[in-house]
Amino acid sequence: MPRFAANLSMLYPELDFLDRFEAAARDGFAAVEYLFPYAYEPRELAARLAAHGLQQVLFNAPPGNWDGGEKGLACLPGREPEFRAAIGSALRYAEALGCPRVHVMAGLLPQGLDRAAVQPTYVANLRWAAAEAARQNVALMIEPINTRDIPGFFLNRQDQAHQLLAQVGAPNVKVQMDLYHCQIVEGDVAMKIRHYLPTGRVGHLQIAGVPERHEPDIGELNYAYLFGVIDEVSAQCGWDGWIGCEYRPARGALAGGTSAGLGWLNRPA
């Protein structure tokens, strides 16, 4: 089986955020990820990780005005100073938490502008951020997100993400391949895993059932099969990343919390 990280922004909604670390460790997770650490002091989060023997494997850079609907700053012309400050803040947390990956959300296409118009801003911002991150050995993730969950998001497809990586030209910028989004936008998920993992340009995977974004064993994707594909391809190409469990528990909510819905994780292959 691949290595799984608990996404503490989505899993364990029945607990306060800081109590989710202990719950994840108790359920056998060795690693966690979550959206944003910024509401907490880095030392408070580092203490939770240490207390429960967990690694932090991913979090997101500040995305702009999240409550106001913003979903990242990277593609927004005129917001470069804010983007740079956001990366600075993310890298300070990454250092304090020993986290090797930061997800840099692309952002929504500004009114009246198309992809081609904002692409130079996106590429220039990522080049600058990649050089900053490289100094402390951090990799930056870019994630294609489906257009139903986030209409107007700049980055939607795996091929688009890999073309942008080529333009950015920095080895520490990689794709966060979320199989939930990939299935909704593109499908053919197993073949995409076979194609993209061996390129060395996928830095992180994430999973959820499709279409409701519940447990991986609810919905149209056969994750038991896909985990076999990931294991097989990883053995061939040496991919050794983590898979973030980024779903809203449904089974657990009905019967005993998130832990009760983790049968898919503990099932022998």
Ligand X SMILES: O=C(O)C(=O)[C@H](O)CO
Catalytic amino acids? 143, 246
Residues within window 187-216 making contact with Mg ion, judged by CB under 5 A: 206
Among 57, 246, 249, 261, binds ligand X (CB under 6 A): 246
Chain centre to alpha carbon of residue 69: 19
Among ligand X, Mg ion, none, residue 213 binds (CB under 5-8 Å by kind): none
Minimum distance between the CB of residue 62 and ligand X, rounded to whole angstroms?
Answer: 12
Q: Which is nearer to Mg ion, 152 or 169 (CB)?
A: 152
**Would you give the DSSP letter of residue 176?**
E
When CB distances are held under 5 to 8 angstroms depending on the partner's kind, the choice from ligand X, Mg ion, none that residue 60 binds is: ligand X
Before 211, cis peptide (omega within 30)?
Answer: yes
Within the chain, what is the greatest distance between any pair of CA atoms? 51
Among 29, 177, 178, 216, binds ligand X (CB under 6 A): 178
Side-chain-side CA neighbours of residue 112 (13 Å): 1
- Which residues contact residue 41 at a Cβ distance below 8 angstroms, ignoring those fewer than 6 apart? none
Task: Check binding of 103 to ligand X (CB under 6 A).
Answer: yes
Number of CB atoms found within 10 A of residue 113's CB: 14
Which of 2, 26, 3 is closest to 11 using CA atoms?
26
Among 21, 25, 46, 60, interactor with ligand X by CB under 6 A: 60
- C-beta nearest to Mg ion: residue: 178
Q: Which residue, 25 or 106, has its beta carbon nearer to ligand X?
A: 106
Query: Tokens for 102?
Result: 């930061």
Binding residues (CB under 6 A) for ligand X: these are 35, 60, 103, 143, 145, 178, 181, 206, 246
